[in-house]
Structure 1
Amino acid sequence: MNKDEPQPEADSANVDLIRSRLNNFMLQQQPFLKPHYKLKDLAEDLQMPLHQLSAFLNKRLGMHFTDYLNQFRIKYCEDLIKNEKPGKINMKDLVAKCGFHNRNTFTTAFKKFTGKTPSDYVRNRLYM
């Protein structure tokens, strides 16, 4: 084995550290609620090289930055829907509160992560 090659244990520990830092930051700071939040912003916030963060998301987590961000947005949105009184949910407000630019992007992301449109999700919630 070449001594310059990274050791699997060290690589695994580094992956776990990055994953933990990233997840903690996303949950505590909630940058996903900012509509114009970019990969560059996250890299700066984490004080991590942009290329390293991008490679981590793509190779280790298997998703692009937009999908990574949107999964947090949709989870946040689901929580808002669950905690709102039936009949009081305004889709336009939900789009803005969850960090999306527009309703089309919101609907596409919502369906990707939940399998339902936001309207269907809300309607199904009423009958639970």
Structure 2
Amino acid sequence: MDWTMIAIGLTLLGIALIWYTKYRPKVGKEVNVVDDEEDLRVIYNKTIDLISNEKYYLNKSLKLSDLAAELSYNERQVSRSINRFSNGNFNKFINSFRIEYSKELLTGGQFDHYTIEAIAEECGFSNKVSFYNAFKSDTGMSPTQFRALKQSS
């Protein structure tokens, strides 16, 4: 047998192994995919309830996987429900709760002595830049401008 035939045989064996690894049925990793609009709505409503009632949005390190585990759904289902029924992805969704809470703190009076950075931290943002960008995207003005406008009213 010549070395060329051995090399061709090993190459074909390698290609077959790669193909099998990529396309074989996944045992034990089946994901129950929810495509039904009604089921996704149920997941979304449970997500809203959990985030609102438990104030999950205040957790700076909140991840989609944490939320999905708490809701007993997989990440894909929770993500699809958020994408379908909110105005954006997971981060934008969580930030919308944080922004609403920050508006309360910026205008509530008892937090007037807090800096903008302290308000951002209190609302679950991990840094000032993320807070400013999310706030301005949501309201069209900076937190400082918002606070000044509300205090002058």
- Could you say which residue in structure 2 is the equivalent of 1:126? 151
- Could you say which residue in structure 1 is the equivalent of 2:134? 109
State which structure, 1 or 2, has the greater radius of gyration over its C-alpha atoms: 2
- 1:14 maps onto 2:45 in alignment: no
Structure 1 consecutive aligned stretches of length 4 or more whose deviation exceeds 6 Å: none
Number of matched residues?
119
Contact 1:86/1:126 (8 A) holds in 2? no
Q: 2:50 aligns with which of 25, 49, 63?
A: 25
Using the alignment, how far apart are the partners of 1:87 and 1:13 within structure 2?
Answer: 43
Contact 2:60/2:124 (8 A) holds in 1? yes
Deviation at 1:88, TM superposition (A): 2.1
Query: Structure 1 length as normaliser, TM-score?
Result: 0.84
Deviation at 1:62, TM superposition (A): 4.3
After superposition, the C-alpha distances for 1:53-89 in whole angstroms (9 at most, x for unaligned) are 1122223334110000000000011111221258523
Deviation at 1:90, TM superposition (A): 1.4
RMSD: 1.9
Contact 2:105/2:111 (8 A) holds in 1? no
Larger relative contact order (Cα-Cα within 8 Å, sequence gap ≥ 6): 1
- 1:43 maps onto 2:106 in alignment: no
Using the alignment, how far apart are the partners of 1:39 and 1:72 within structure 2?
Answer: 15
Deviation at 1:19, TM superposition (A): 2.4
Using the alignment, how far apart are the partners of 2:142 and 2:87 within structure 1?
Answer: 24
| Matched position secondary structure for 1:101 | coil
Using the alignment, how far apart are the partners of 2:48 and 2:80 within structure 1?
Answer: 16
- Could you say which residue in structure 2 is the equivalent of 1:57? 82
Q: Identity across aligned pairs (percent)?
A: 25
Q: 2:92 aligns with which of 67, 72, 75?
A: 67
After superposition, the C-alpha distances for 1:69-118 in whole angstroms (9 at most, x for unaligned) are 00000001111122125852311210110101110000000011111100
- 1:76 maps onto 2:101 in alignment: yes
Structure 2 counterpart of 1:46, one-letter code: L
- Unpaired stretches in structure 1, ≥5 consecutive residues: 1-10
